[in-house]
Amino acid sequence: MIYVVIVFLWTSILLYILLGGADFGAGIIELFTSKGNRSKTRKTMYDAIGPIWEANHMWLIIAIVILFVGFPKIYTTVSIYLHIPLVCMLLGIIARGTAFVFRNYDAVKDDMQKLYTPIFVYSSLITPFFLGIIAASSVSGQIDVQAKDFLSAYVFSWLNWFSVSVGIFTVSICGFLATIFIIGQAANDDDRNFFVRKARRTIYTVMFCGALVFVAAYQENIPLANWIFGDTLGLIAIIAASISLVIMFFLLQRKKPRFLRVLAGFQVTMILFAATYSHFPDIVLLKNGTNLSLLIHQGQAKAIDTLGYALLIGSIFILPALVYLIYIFQQKKKLPETQ
| Least Å from the CB of residue 21 to other proteins | 16
Q: Interface with other proteins includes 223 (CB under 8 A)? A: no
Q: Interface with other proteins includes 300 (CB under 8 A)? A: yes
Q: Interface with other proteins includes 94 (CB under 8 A)? A: yes
**Residue 38 near residue 30 (C-beta atoms within 8 A):** yes
3 state SS of 116 = helix
How far apart, in whole angstroms, are the C-alpha atoms of residue 17 and residue 127?
A: 12
| Least Å from the CB of residue 111 to other proteins | 12
Q: Interface with other proteins includes 39 (CB under 8 A)? A: no
How far apart, in whole angstroms, are the C-alpha atoms of residue 20 and residue 55?
A: 9
Going by C-beta distance under 8 Å and a sequence separation of 6 or more, which residues neighbour residue 281? 6, 293, 294, 295, 296
Q: Which is nearer to other proteins, 107 or 335 (CB)?
A: 107
The interface region with other proteins, picked from 22-30, 70-78, 171-179, 288-296 by CB under 8 A, is: 70-78
Q: Interface with other proteins includes 288 (CB under 8 A)? A: no
Q: Interface with other proteins includes 317 (CB under 8 A)? A: yes
| Least Å from the CB of residue 108 to other proteins | 5
Q: Interface with other proteins includes 161 (CB under 8 A)? A: no
Q: Interface with other proteins includes 251 (CB under 8 A)? A: no
| Least Å from the CB of residue 333 to other proteins | 12
Single-letter amino acid code for the residue at 199? A
Residue 292's H or E segment, with its range, is strand 291-293
| Least Å from the CB of residue 110 to other proteins | 9
Q: Interface with other proteins includes 102 (CB under 8 A)? A: yes
Cα-based distances in Å from 27 to 59, 124, 173, 183, 302: 19, 5, 13, 16, 42
Going by C-beta distance under 8 Å and a sequence separation of 6 or more, which residues neighbour residue 106? 112, 113, 116
Residue 178's H or E segment, with its range, is helix 161-183
DSSP assignment letter at 157: T
Q: Which is nearer to other proteins, 154 or 169 (CB)?
A: 154
Q: Which is nearer to other proteins, 119 or 199 (CB)?
A: 119
**Residue 78 near residue 284 (C-beta atoms within 8 A):** yes
- Site residues (vs other proteins, CB under 8 A): 50-55, 57-58, 60-62, 64-66, 68-70, 72-73, 75-76, 78-80, 83, 86-87, 90-91, 93-95, 97-98, 100-102, 105-108, 112, 150, 153-154, 299-300, 302-303, 306-307, 310-311, 313-314, 317-318, 321-322, 325, 328-329, 332
